[in-house]
């Protein structure tokens, strides 16, 4: 577990937060292992993943990466994520799990889209706001939000490709969350070598912004 300040510092340094989501437990673990080998130090395992809590627990034993739980909707989800060793939680919206996670001492990346939702997420105790689904407004929408909310850390998630990720970072995102454009299609077998190449491409892009 990390503090909110430590979480923000890590994410701001990494600038890329991979999102693991799979209906195959072994594939999810292999994705996580590959990301750790390439050098990613923070990523999310969605609770929609097969045996997500087990995946989180196993990946915590692999290396020093901070593994968070995503799609955390309820207080029970937050408690289970903490018990599995999740370092932080991610929500898709402003949910009851935010307050529960804050009470448990877990940093929260809370999902929001509109200005009202962004403020609600911050007031609920979120360390940062996951702008989701980001592709609805794109980098221009993120840029428009920076003016009224300069002090709220925003992390776009949803449809973040390599090119879009660069634009989001250039427009003020502290980081971007990346799913299938990095981890690959969930319906296809894992190609670890291709995943490693994509992961390094995203890391190189982030370093260049």
pLDDT of 64 strictly over 90:
no
The answer to whether residue 27 is catalytic is: no
Nearest to 28 by CA among 3, 51, 5: 51
What is the per-residue pLDDT for 187? 78
pTM here is 0.96
Catalytic residue among 14, 27, 58, 130: 130
Question: Tens digits of per-residue pLDDT, 132-174?
Answer: 999 999 999 999 999 999 999 999 999 999 999 999 999 999 9
CB 130 within 8 A of CB 7: no
Distance CA 33, CA 27 (A): 10
Catalytic residue among 14, 44, 58, 167: 44
Mean pLDDT of the chain: 96
Query: Strand 176-178 to strand 16-20: parallel, antiparallel, or no bridges (unpaired)?
Result: parallel
Q: What is the mean pLDDT of residues 72-93?
A: 98
Distance CA 148, CA 142 (A): 11
The matching CATH number, chosen from 1.10.3720.10, 3.20.20.70, 3.30.465.10, 3.40.50.620, for 4-208 is: 3.20.20.70
Question: Tens digits of per-residue pLDDT, 99-120?
Answer: 999 999 999 999 999 999 999 9
What is the per-residue pLDDT for 185? 85
Question: Tens digits of per-residue pLDDT, 179-188?
Answer: 999 999 877 8
Domain segments of the chain as ranges: 4-208
DSSP-derived secondary structure for 130-197:
EETTGGGTHHHHHHHHHTT-TTS-EEEBSS--HHHHHHHHHTT-S-EEE-HHHH--TTS---HHHHHH
């Amino acid at each position: 577990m990390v503090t909110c300040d430590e979480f923000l510092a890590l994410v701001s340094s990494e600038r890329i937060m991979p999102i693991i989501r799979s209906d195959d437990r072994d594939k999810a673990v292999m994705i996580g292992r590959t990301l750790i080998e390439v050098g990613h130090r923070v990523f999310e395992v969605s609770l929609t993943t097969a045996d997500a809590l087990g995946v989180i627990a196993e990946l915590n034993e692999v290396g020093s990466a901070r593994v968070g739980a995503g799609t955390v909707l309820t207080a029970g989800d937050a408690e289970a994520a903490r018990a599995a060793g999740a370092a932080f939680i991610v929500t898709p919206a402003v949910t009851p799990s935010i307050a529960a996670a804050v009470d448990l001492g877990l940093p929260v990346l809370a999902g929001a889209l509109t200005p009202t939702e962004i403020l609600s997420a911050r007031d609920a105790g979120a360390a940062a706001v996951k702008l989701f689904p980001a592709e609805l407004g794109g980098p221009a929408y993120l840029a428009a939000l920076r003016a009224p909310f300069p002090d709220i850390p925003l992390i776009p998630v949803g449809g973040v490709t390599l090119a879009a990720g660069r634009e989001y970072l250039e427009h003020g995102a502290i980081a971007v969350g990346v799913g299938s454009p990095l981890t690959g299609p969930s319906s296809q077998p894992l190609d670890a070598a291709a995943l490693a190449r994509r992961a390094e491409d995203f890391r190189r892009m982030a370093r260049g912004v």
